Amino acid sequence: MATRRRPTGVRASLLAAAALAIAPGARGDPPTTGGDVPGHPAPQRSAAAFMRAGDTAMASGDFASAIEFYRRAALLTPRDATPAARLGEALAKSGAPAAALQAYAEAHARDPRSPAIDLAMGRLALALDRPQEALSDFQAAAGQSPSAVAWNGIGVAHDAAGDHRTAQLDYRKGLAIKPQDNALRNNLGLSQALAGDYPAAIATLQALLAQPGASAGERLNLALVYGLAGDDDKAASIAREVLGEADNASNLKYYALLRSMDDRSRTRAILGLGPATALAPAAPAPGAAGLTPR
């Protein structure tokens, strides 16, 4: 297993932020009057009340308020991983992956044996284009609980690092646990394409599309593979079942752009980490269903 690396100073930064959020006065006491978070009456000073308020805010899509409530709960319960993990979730949903990763690192410090926390950290590390760190997190999750989800994440991290052959072994290990997992089969096909084995990738994705429940995104991934292989006519024919002509034409330009890239740039683009993704159409984008840790 890879050696786990953690951001330094995480606990101090999280709790300092929590203290700033919680302290109306010099002593840092929790608020006891309403109106402290706009649009939400202040809960009682217990951590459980702050957690309930955070959950309510999350359910309504008010991530900013949820962040404040979860920070307060995390400050009041320094040994409980749940408030810090919920804070990480809210920060991630608000579009702050770096801060979310710090919050999850604090949750991990409180509960170092939680596969769910390791998986969340791996996803965020990938979002920040840190595949080696993500690999360490996903491997830690697999060490705690060797699930199909963990092996999928390990595979995506290896793909992101350019090691497509190892990634395919990872996806197959996940499929040994859950043979009909569509995400693993989809990611295996895309990884085969990234390695340049287009016949294998096409066979993998065609078999996936023959199963009930195949998605439009997975169909577009098959079109993507044909596009990477240079067969634009076949790619357009498959994508036409999902997209209109304008979006289909945009996809063909995107495939040509991907073909012009080196392996790392192409992989980053398909993962959503590269600048080329801005050229993908607004309709279901190539790769949207794949290379995504769940």
- Reported as a single tens digit per residue, the pLDDT across 198-241 is 999 999 999 999 987 778 888 999 999 999 999 999 999 999 88
Q: If one looks up domain 164-294 in CATH, what number appears?
A: 1.25.40
Q: Give the model's confidence band at 134: pLDDT under 50 very low, under 70 low, under 90 confident, else very high.
A: very high
CATH number of 8-110: 1.25.40.10
String of DSSP letters for the chain: -PPP---TTHHHHHHHHHHHHH-SSTT-PPP-SS-SBTTB----SSHHHHHHHHHHHHHTT-HHHHHHHHHHHHHH-TT-HHHHHHHHHHHHHTT-HHHHHHHHHHHHHH-TT-HHHHHHHHHHHHHTT-HHHHHHHHHHHHHH---HHHHHHHHHHHHHTT-HHHHHHHHHHHHHHSTT-HHHHHHHHHHHHHTT-HHHHHHHHHHHHTSTT--HHHHHHHHHHHHHTT-HHHHHHHHTTTS-HHHHHHHHHHHHHHHTS-HHHHHHHHHT-SGGGGGS-SSS-TTTTSS---
Predicted structure pTM score: 0.79
Q: Which residue has better confidence, 18 or 248? A: 248
Greater pLDDT, 272 or 121: 121
pLDDT in tens, 41-68: 554 578 999 999 999 999 999 999 999 9
pLDDT band at 272; cut points 50, 70, 90: confident
Domains 8-110 and 164-294 share a fold: yes
For 218-227, the pLDDT digits (tens) are 899 999 999 9
Domain ranges in the chain are 8-110, 164-294
